[in-house]
Amino acid sequence: MTSPIGIFDSGYGGLTIFEKIREQLPAYDYLYLGDNARAPYGARSFETVYRFTREAVRCLFARGCPLVILACNTASAKALRNIQQRDLPQIDPSRRVLGVVRPTVEVVDELSRTKHVGVLGTTGTVASQSYTLEIAKLFPHITVSSEACPMWVPLVENREYASPGADYFVGQHVRRLLEQDPLIDVVILGCTHYPLLIDKIRRFLPKSVTVFPQGAQVAASLKDYLHRHPEMDGRLTKNGSNCFLTTEAASVFADAACIFLNRTVDVEQVVIS
């Protein structure tokens, strides 16, 4: 029986995080769960996102995961703290749930010269102010501006991210972000779908601005976490396996996963509640 690292996202975007984690930690077993039947989470209420995320975490725990990564900015912003503080002590204090916001924030100070940072994210992530609050805790001298981009996830999932029609929606939000603060020199991609739009995003930004996708940093942070917590590392099995679960039809997930992974995967449909 395996004890994999669980990776959860409301849909497909977390596959960009999964792929970077797998690149840096290839020996481990992974179990990815996408709640595609109830996606997107971006505009849902805090309570709904918390409830859905808690159900997904319980599902991954039930399948043997001692450690779960919320590879979803909305879930990390709206559910992570409650799950860590309210649920884990009751479910199993020895298990862990980690998010993607904190690892991303930890490096922005060294990336920014002007100390003016921009965040592009879903409506839910921006409304939560999770990046603004986390950056303020660690680096109160940094000014943060955020822009919600509600059309970007549909562009990616409908395979329009490389089309000329996507230029309008990408350019519109990038310009709005820079209008808020022309001194921005680092832009955080606060949604796991957005790396697929990175070429277009860069096209609308000055060359002096660093575009910061999360995947590699989240993977590096997890690698460091396991090094610092050998008791958790010892619980994780290392057979190099990758399994995928979805609450949607398996064929639908498998087809869309090709957009993010550039390969076919075997998928199992599950019901979570």
Bridge-partner residues for 138, per DSSP? none
Distance CA 168, CA 188 (A): 20
- Active-site residues, by number, are 72, 191
Comparing CA positions, the residue from 180, 208, 214 lying closest to residue 194 is 214
Distance CA 91, CA 82 (A): 13
Comparing CA positions, the residue from 210, 201, 214 lying closest to residue 169 is 201
Residue 80 and residue 112 in contact, taking contact as beta carbons nearer than 8 Å: no
Bridge-partner residues for 252, per DSSP? none
Q: How many CB atoms lie within 10 A of CB 119?
A: 29
Give the chain's length.
273
Distance CA 51, CA 55 (A): 6
Distance CA 127, CA 98 (A): 21
First to last CA, the chain: 24
